[in-house]
Structures are given as structure tokens and as C-alpha cells.
Amino acid sequence: MSDLVFALSPWIKSLHVMAVIAWMAGLFYLPRLYVYHAERATVGSELDQTFQIMEEKLLRLIMNPSMIVAWVAGLLLLSTGVFDWGAAWSWIKIAAVLAMTGAHGWMAKRRKEFAAGQNTRTGRTYRLFNEVPTVLMVVIVIAVIVRPF
């Protein structure tokens, strides 16, 4: 199995990068939708329903599948020996990816609150949270490309 994964590693890496790009796009966009939803829509209004549809489709059709593909491809790549388990950069990347997954989960929970008409957070909260995926992305890219540790 590992010989096959190694032979396919350029394709798996490509798939991983594409999935990460799609996942990151959603992680950047969903909190922005939440900002407008929290600030401009009243519960039960037509605008509230529109935001709910947009948020749910973004999460279910783009973010969730791309996160799963990114994780599966990343785990497959681990078997090719691309990770240096003795280097700090590998552990920093893993920690940042786990934090990114946690951010995804936090956003999914907020979508359920909006859907139930129970959002209690302000647009400012979502604006601030919008920076979390950016910071994590910077950490991941520097850890993997520059490998400063």
C-alpha cells in the first residue's frame, strides 16, 4: 500500500493543496457571512433565511467535503515519509491543523445557532474570529515551507 501511495504522492499532494484551498476559502468567507447575518438580518426575516441557506450550503457542500479530503490526503502523505517527526515544524503544523479543524467546528456550531434563531454574538465577534484562519494559515505555510524550527 505504501508503495502505491508513494507512487501517487504527486497526485495526492495536488489533491491535498486543492482541498486546502477550497477549505480555506470557506473558512475565510463563512465568518464574513456571519458578520452580515448578525448585523443586518432579523430572526425569521427573508434576509435571515437567505443567509441561512448560504451558510448551510457553504458549510455542507464546500467546507465539510474539502476539509475531509484535505485530512485524508494529508494522512495518506504521512505514509510517504514527508514528515520529519523529530522536527518542531511538523508538530507545529499538526497543532495548527487541529486548531483549524476546531475553528471549522466552532463555525459549524454558530451556523446551528443562527438556524435556531439563537445567535447571541455580534458582528464584531465574527470579524475578530475571521482572523483566526488567517493566522493559522500563516503558521502552517511558514512551518511547512520555511521550516524555521
Which pLDDT value is given to residue 1? 65
Give the model confidence (pLDDT) of 110-128 as tens digits. Answer: 999 999 999 999 999 999 9
CA distance 125 to 35: 8
Decide: 104 and 67 in contact? Cβ < 8 Å: yes
Residues in the chain: 149
Give the model confidence (pLDDT) of 23-62 as tens digits. Answer: 999 999 999 999 999 999 999 999 999 999 999 999 999 9
Domain boundaries in the chain? 2-146
CA distance 111 to 121: 12
CA distance 45 to 117: 11
DSSP classification of residue 87: S
